[in-house]
Every structure is written in structure tokens, then in C-alpha cells.
Amino acid sequence: MVYDENSGDDPDPPARLAMIVGQVDELLAADVWRLSDAELDGLIEGVCRLAGRVAAVRGQLFVEAQDRGFAVHQGATDLAAWLRERLRLTTREARRQVTLARDTTVCTATGAALASGEITAEHAVVICDAMRSLPTATTPEQRTAAERALIGFADKFDTIHLTRIAARLRETLTMVDASPGGDDPHSNSRTGEHTRPGNGGGDAGADAGDDDGEKPSPDPADIRRLTFTDTPTGTMLISGELDAEGAALLRTALDSLAAPRPAADGTPDRRSPARRRADALIDLVNRALSAAAVPETGGVRPHLTVLIDWNTLLASGTIPATTDWGPPLPHSTLARLSCDAEISRVLLDPAGVPLDIGRTTRVVPPQMRRALVARDRGCTFPGCDRPPSWCECHHCTHWAHDGVTALHNLVLICGQHHRQVHHDGWTIVFTDDGHPAYIPPWRIDPHQRPRRNPYTQNPTDLFATT
């Protein structure tokens, strides 16, 4: 579509996007080496600020998509899941973008600053998170002032320093009782705990807090979070936050295990403190699993499961061994584990389907679940990356309808997608190679083309061309 500026026609959003893409193509083809330092300076800053403005446009589209239920119409559970499957984003990044879009409709000043290029999307995330964490007693005037202050600080500080400033701002507002007749924070230790306006100041306010009608204080444990992020090198990044009690418990459990261990000849332990704490955490987990101190999952006591090609086990294969969670194991680690591991053999055909499926019962026995894990490797619903331990064994043809408990009638599926299959009318079929595929309902795909989950497909040859 060609847009003539003199025609008076107002191009629709898709046409405007096409125009922008054309301009970006011209920028990519430009001879940037011809630019002066001043031109290069302006162009770099302009492009970087343009990214924030594009994020604001993206936010408007996301809000519209959520309001009309776009993702559900496409067969996804929510907009973040649709973005993850369509753009191959991580779940965390997809949710971050969707949350920012919704937050900027509440934090309107932040949304305007992002749209004008005044702040970056990363700064906007920090500001919106900070506004969400302000005390419930914060007045609208205080919220407006706090948001404006943070926007001003965003022009002077990076996101790490802005986060610290936001934390101090929140603490400042927590220490000030904004309710009518609020107490002096220097004379009453219960400041900030008032839940009813107009309860009076001084000791009267403290006495009123003992009434049965007062709302209980928030649980400090609500702050707890722990996230795992896989890296391209096969390792995992751990990040999280604990309340004071949880942190003390963890440190107490790791303290003795993380102590330096000199060698038999007295050589000092050369491990760094960070390495010793990481080793202590693994040691603690090993002790808990070995002592059967954790609950069963899927009827099986938790243990480390490694899927190994037979030739790889004999040190003559090239297919990497993997855990239930996906990342490959280094050969050195595999050699150490196989020395004292209990090996259960599951025979697979060339398509990766177990050949020995055991006996038929209504309840899936542990040995059949292991075979199912070897084939499905996690939730089989398209686009889901939940591991086997989070999944249920689902009969494609229900037991009550003469469905058998055999691999050709079973799939691994997480609870969320299990409910979606039953509620939305998805049909599960098995392809010629024995793996499950999902046929969406007609309203999602009128052609009802089968869909496979790419996250559960394990290529036998990573260098093979398709």
C-alpha cells in the first residue's frame, strides 16, 4: 500500500507500520560511516529513545488484545502465552511486557513519559513495580507525587539505582500514617498499621488496633520468590527473595555445609565463598532426596532422572544425555553419575516411542509413567514447557469409555492444559511416528490442523538439515 502525503488520506495502523518498516530498512542500508560525531550522537540517542516509544505503542496493542480476548480466540491461555509461542519469548519476558502494558494504563504519567521517549521501557517497569508496592494508605496526592519523582529520577539514574530510590521512597511512605488524625511516627511504634480512617491519634489509635475488627498485618512470607533461568551454556541462573525468617533458615541449613574443607594434607580450601555456598545447596538437596524427605510426584519418589542414548552410555554416541528439565549433561558429569546410578532400561523405537509399555491398569503404574516421560519429555500441549514432574497422565479415550492404560492412549499434560483440553474441546491424536498431536476446536482453526509441541521434540541429530 502506497501512502501519498498530499492525498489527505489518513493511513490505517498497518499502513503506518509498513511505512516505519520502510524507513528502518533505509536506516539499515545507510552509510553510517559518513556521519559526523554529532550526527552519530543524535542518531544513537534517537534510536534508543524510539525503542521506548515503540514499547508504548506495543502496550496499547496489548491492552486492546486483552480487552477483546484475542489470545483466547487464538487458542492460548492468555496473551503472555500467545506471545511466547508466536515470538519465542521466555515466559518471564512475555509477562513483563504484558504487565507493563496494563500498568501504564494505571500509571498514566509513566505511560506518557514512555510514549514521549522521556524514559526507557526498563525504567517504566521499575516505576510501575514501585507504584504497585506503595502502602495501601498512600493518598492519591502522594501517589502522584511519588510517580512524578521517580520519572524525574529516571532521567538521572540507571534502573538499579532507580530501584533503590523507589525502595527508600516506599519506606518513607510506610513510616508516615496518611489517615486522618494519624499518629506522629516518632511517638508511636504502630504508625502505618492503621486500617480505619479517623481512629484518633496517640494512644487511642494504638488501643483501637486491638479491636477484633482490625485487619491482620500482611504475612511477611508473601515476599518469597524463587526463579530459575536456563542459559545457552546449559547452566541455570537462580534469583529470588526471602523474608527474614526464610533467609535465616536457609543460611542456618547451609552454614555448616558451606564451611571451608581443607584437603587431607592440610592444603586450604581454594573454593570461593560463593562456590562453597552453591556446593552446600547441592549437598543439602542430595541429602533431602537420599533421605526420602520430600513428597512423591506422580507416584514416584523424586530422584534425578537422566535420559541417555544407549550408544552415549557406552561412550560411543554423540546424542547428549538430558535431564527431565531439558538441559544436556556434560560427558564428565554423565560418567560420574553412571558409576553408582541405578539404571532402568526403557527400549525406544527410532521415533523415540517406548516399545515396552507394561500391563494395562486404570492407574498408571510407575514403570509406565517412566516410559511416558521418556517419550513425551513434559507437557505435550503445543507451546507448553512444563517438566514431567508437573504433569498428569491423561487417557485420550477415557477409561470409562473403554480407553486402555497404554502408551498409545496416554499423554503427559499439565493441570492447566488438562483443563483446557476438556473445556475447549481439543482432540488428541497420535501421528505416524507414535507421538501425540493436538487438533484445536473449529473456532480456533477452521482447518483443524494437528499441532505438535516443539518443546517436547528431541532431535536425534542436531546437525541434520530439514
Secondary structure (DSSP) of 76-99:
-SSHHHHHHHHH---HHHHHHHHH
Residues 464 and 320 in one domain: yes
- Any residues with CB less than 8 A from the CB of 135 and at least 6 apart, and which? 170, 173, 174, 192
- Whether 235 is in a domain gets the answer no
- Whether 267 is in a domain gets the answer no
Residues 311 and 447 in one domain: yes
Q: Which of 123, 144, 178 is the last residue of a domain?
A: 178
- Whether 355 is in a domain gets the answer yes
- Whether 349 is in a domain gets the answer yes
Q: Which of 154, 178, 202 is the last residue of a domain?
A: 178
Residues 323 and 463 in one domain: yes
Q: How far apart are CA 428 and CA 415, in angstroms?
A: 16
Cell of 461: 541429530
- Number of alpha carbons in the 13 Å side-chain half-sphere of residue 238: 8
Q: How far apart are CA 239 and CA 281, in angstroms?
A: 14
Residues 165 and 304 in one domain: no
CA distances from 264 to 7, 141, 277, 288 (A): 86, 66, 21, 27
- Any residues with CB less than 8 A from the CB of 363 and at least 6 apart, and which? 299, 405
Is there a contact between 242 and 224 (Cβ–Cβ < 8 Å)? yes
Tell me the residue range of the domain where 149 lies: 40-178
Per DSSP, the residues of 305-357 read -EE--HHHHTT---SPPEETTSPBPPHHHHHHHHHHPPP----B-TTS-BS--
- Whether 287 is in a domain gets the answer no
Residues 157 and 303 in one domain: no
Give this prediction's pTM.
0.52
- Whether 277 is in a domain gets the answer no
- Whether 423 is in a domain gets the answer yes
Taking only the tens of pLDDT, the chain with its 466 residues reads 444 555 556 678 999 999 999 999 999 999 999 999 999 999 999 999 899 999 999 999 999 999 999 999 888 889 999 999 899 898 889 999 999 999 999 999 999 999 999 999 999 999 999 999 888 888 999 999 999 999 999 988 888 888 878 887 887 777 554 444 444 444 443 333 333 333 333 433 434 444 445 555 567 778 889 888 767 667 788 888 887 777 777 888 888 888 888 877 778 888 888 898 998 888 888 777 766 655 555 545 555 666 676 666 666 665 667 766 656 666 656 655 555 455 555 556 556 666 544 444 556 777 788 888 888 888 999 988 888 888 888 888 876 577 787 888 899 998 888 888 877 889 999 988 888 999 999 888 889 999 988 877 765 543 443 3
Q: Which of 129, 145, 178 is the last residue of a domain?
A: 178
Q: How many CB atoms lie within 10 A of CB 321?
A: 19
Please state the domain count of the chain: 2
Residues 313 and 451 in one domain: yes
Q: Is the C-alpha dihedral spanning 44, 49, 54, 58 positive or negative?
A: positive
- Whether 270 is in a domain gets the answer no
Residues 170 and 309 in one domain: no
